[in-house]
Amino acid sequence: MFDNLIQGLGILLSIENLVLISIAVCIGIIAGAIPGFTGTNTVAIALPFTLAMAPETAIVFLAAIYVGANYGGAIPAVLINTPGTAGATATVLDAYPMSQQGKAGQAIGISIAASVFGGLISAIFLVLLINPVAEIAFLFGQPEFFALSMFGIIALASVLGDNIAKGLLSGLFGLLIAAITLDPVTGQRRLDFGFPELYSDLPFIPIIVGLFAISELLYLIKKEKISDKDIDVDSYDNVFEGVRYALKNPFQLLRATSIGTIIGSVPGAGTSVANFISWGEAKRASDHPEQFGKGNPEGVIASEASNNAVTSSSLIPTLVLGIPGSGTTAVMLAALLLHGLQPGPQLMEVFGAEATAIMLSLIAANIVLLFFALAISRYIVRVVLLPTQWLVPIILVLTVIGVYALNSSLFDVWFMILFGVLGFTMREHDYSLIPLVLGVILGPLAEGAFRRSLELSQGDPSILFISSPITIALWILALLALTSKPLKSMIQG
């Protein structure tokens, strides 16, 4: 391993690679900041460039774009209530209220520090422990996936809002929306109303952008600008205050990073699951859970540190098992194969130096991210002071472009608008959007895992609960999540 580390450093520390990493991080941040423009399609668009490069340089370049894009998603989440990528959905919950309170600079600072911390620690972890961590992926079968998704929904439902009934209704509605597509086991069509776009997979990004961005536009129209408070945009003080706040909370950073690292190393889970579970856990463990969703900086740390930790750890199953841990790593897997690197258990033996260089590049990319993101932070917070008569049409155009560019599909644009109206209606009647989003994200995972578990056990439901120590632990955690709040109230009298 030590030899690989030295050789990997040798590959990485060339002027060409370091310049490419810097360019790639910048491209990633810009692309990630456009709502709907995901890390996956940015990396896919960049792929043809890399065919002219050496294999390890190509993957380093793509990995740096991935890191940049994942942070970039936080920028519109903080400033305009719109997650730039699915992994930043939970960031919206506290970061945007902070912006409305005139704390956009602090929120940006926290998101930078948390992102870099999460990405950096997870990347170091990846370099040191790639092989043992890969074993975690082997421990997750269908019953474990079902328990994980149930834990996610229960943990979040139990910590959200004051009205649990409305939260549950919202979550159930999300699960119903997730059931639009084909039955995962029998292949029967269900609720697609004849639209081929809804036949096998839901257009997830249009749903998220619609619920958050479009519904917010309807509110912004009534305002002059996002924040009515005075913001000092001429100095970095607020941004650095945010950075300092995040660094003063190492336990929260570590907890979110650990959640992101573990979830990222499990194929199929990804950033969109990690940021919610991390946010839910942070709220559950907080002394002031009632402040979550209203501009609590701890919520921003939880979401941002976890989603950037996923960028590194999702490379574990990609490199070691040849199974992509997320959509973006699926593209990177294709890039590896196109360059003649066969991912799988033998990768570290045959291409040890190249694989180590890829992992080390994540560390370099996160360091570049820190400087670049801080440098531009003072300028991007000005967005909240823009008059809405300019801001609303700009956001609308950007979201339509971003969502259309995903699949060149106008259906996706209409779908986004439909969910924008739904989001507005729900917010008007005090229904939280988060359980709905989580239902949509986890629905297919939970349903497929549930059905396949029962197929495997030939109908015996005990497989769902006691098939392994992981399922037992996840159910106990879910039970604790469900009961901790009422128990706490009881104890406090």
Partner 1 sequence: MTTNIRSRRRFLGTVGSASIIGLTGCLSVSSGGDNGGAENYPSNPIQTIIPFSEGGGVDRSVRELQSFFEESIDGQLQLEYRPGGGTQIGQQAVLDANPDCYTVGVASMPAFNFTMITGDADYDLSDFAWIGTKLVDPGVLRKHRDDDRFEDITDVIEYASENPGDLSVSTSGPYNQNVLGLALLQEVTGAEFNIVPYDGGGPSRNALVTREVDLVHANVYNSVNTTDDTEVLAIHAEENNWSELTDNAPTFSDALGFDQEEIPPSGPEVRYAWYTSAEAGDEYSERLSILQESFEESVTSREYEEHLSELSPPQEGKRDFRPPDETEQLAQEKQDQMESHLDTMETVV
Q: Is 456 or 482 the residue whose CB approaches partner 1 more closely? A: 456
Report the distance separating Cα 335 and Cα 63, nearest Å: 11
- Residue 257 C-beta: closest distance to partner 1, Å: 25
- Residue 78 C-beta: closest distance to partner 1, Å: 23
Q: Is 46 or 437 the residue whose CB approaches partner 1 more closely? A: 46
CA distances for 112 relative to 77, 125, 233, 467, angstroms: 13, 20, 17, 40
- Residue 272 C-beta: closest distance to partner 1, Å: 15
Q: Are 318 and 343 in contact (CB under 8 A)?
A: yes
Q: Is 97 or 443 the residue whose CB approaches partner 1 more closely? A: 443
Q: Where are the alpha helices (DSSP H) in 187-249?
A: 204-209, 215-220, 237-247
Report the distance separating Cα 176 and Cα 361, nearest Å: 41
Report the distance separating Cα 74 and Cα 89, nearest Å: 9
- Residue 210 C-beta: closest distance to partner 1, Å: 17
Q: Is 204 or 292 the residue whose CB approaches partner 1 more closely? A: 204
Collapsed DSSP state (helix, strand, coil) of residue 13: coil
Q: Is 56 or 298 the residue whose CB approaches partner 1 more closely? A: 56
Q: Is 113 or 319 the residue whose CB approaches partner 1 more closely? A: 319
Q: Is 322 or 352 the residue whose CB approaches partner 1 more closely? A: 322
- Residue 470 C-beta: closest distance to partner 1, Å: 12
Q: Are 325 and 311 in contact (CB under 8 A)?
A: no
Q: Are 104 and 378 in contact (CB under 8 A)?
A: no
Which 3-state string (H, E, C) describes 357-421?
HHHHHHHHHHHHHHHHHHHHHHHHHHHHHCCHHHHHHHHHHHHHHHHHHHHCCHHHHHHHHHHHH
- Residue 49 C-beta: closest distance to partner 1, Å: 5
Environment class of 235 (CB within 10 Å of its CB; exposed 0-12, middle 13-18, buried 19+): exposed
- Residue 119 C-beta: closest distance to partner 1, Å: 21
Q: Scanning the structure block, which residue is given the tokens 């490199």? A: 319
Which residues form the interface with partner 1 (CB under 8 A)? Answer: 40-41, 43-53, 138-142, 182-187, 189, 194, 196-197, 199-201, 203, 267-268, 321-324, 327, 330-334, 337-338, 340-346, 350, 401, 404-405, 407-409, 444, 448, 452, 455-456, 458
Report the distance separating Cα 67 and Cα 99, nearest Å: 24
- Residue 478 C-beta: closest distance to partner 1, Å: 22
Q: How many CA atoms lie within 13 A of 4 on its CB side?
A: 18
Q: Is 102 or 141 the residue whose CB approaches partner 1 more closely? A: 141
